[in-house]
Amino acid sequence: MYNKIYLTFKYERKIFINKLDFTYKLHNDFSTDIIDHHFTLKCVPCNNQRQIVESIGIKINSEENFTTHYDSFGNIVLSGSIFSEHNKFDVEVAGTAITDMEIFEDTGEDEVQNGIFKYQTKLTMPYECINNYSESLNVDLENNYNTALDIMRRLHEDMKYKKGSTDVGTTAEYALKNRCGVCQDYSHIMLSLLRLRNIPTRYCVGMISGEGETHAWVEVLSNKRWYGFDPTNNLLVDKNYIKISSGRDAADCSVNKGIFKDSALQQQTISVLVTQHTA
């Protein structure tokens, strides 16, 4: 049985054309039984100007209870505890999203909050390789949008997608030096390059069809609106994307965090399915 949550968002739109069905699954195997497992999860799409989550269901280890709240970036967070012995942890989120709302998200007037996204983090900090690469770029500086578009295209040309070449702790500097990585690395490098130009940029995690797992991209603030850019695929974020979370870098969007008793090792797998809604 799914636990249902209902999310509200005010919007006005006469015709909705695009709907996507999505299923997100997380599975953790523990090497031995654990107890007193306290978890937080960021795997639920939220409502915004780009998308409306029309229906959604969540189940965590079949019948576990959880609470829902928002973090400081506006991401939905699920929190809960499992006190009994268990050696598996399963999460499933399934629903339908309307994704042809807008191609942007409006931002508030809080310049301090938006200013957070101008600062580099441990994962995006530029050093010799990124600084040299940045100086070599010939980009349109007319506005933030055009700058991001030029950097996305150049980065897509110069990087090679190579699964397994990096991990969750890989920095933008390391990935660019080796000119290969995955979507997380492409996004961290683009964040670093744009922040060098004092442009507010945030890291996003979400789902797209055909991936089979979560995907990462960036959003750039231009004229008080956040626009999405996908440097891995050299695409503008459109109705084929479902956003789950955003933050300063991948650490702010970590899907699964928690603590438990025992010294068990754990292995995590994530699968994502996004299809066109046909009903």
- pLDDT tens track for 46-77: 999 999 999 999 999 866 689 999 999 999 99
**What is the share, in percent, of the chain residues with pLDDT greater than 90?**
81
Tell me the two tokens of residue 45: 């799409």
pLDDT digits 0-9 by tens, 204-248: 999 999 889 999 999 999 999 999 999 999 999 999 999 999 999
Domain boundaries, the chain: 21-100+255-276, 104-252
Query: What is the CATH number that goes with domain 104-252?
Result: 3.10.620.30
Cα–Cα distance measured from residue 279 to residue 277, given in angstroms and rounded to the nearest whole number: 6
Q: Which fold has domain 21-100+255-276?
A: Immunoglobulin-like (2.60.40)
Cα–Cα distance measured from residue 230 to residue 117, given in angstroms and rounded to the nearest whole number: 17
| pLDDT of res. 17 | 81
Q: What angle do CA 43, 48, 49 make, to 5 degrees?
A: 145
Q: The tokens 């046909």 sit on which residue?
A: 278
Cα–Cα distance measured from residue 45 to residue 56, given in angstroms and rounded to the nearest whole number: 9
pTM of the model: 0.92
Q: Within a 10 A sphere around the Cβ of 236, how many other Cβ atoms?
A: 16
| C-alpha 165, offset from chain centre | 20
**Paired strand residues for 52:** 98
Q: Which of 98, 94, 97, 53 is nearest to 272 (CA)?
A: 94
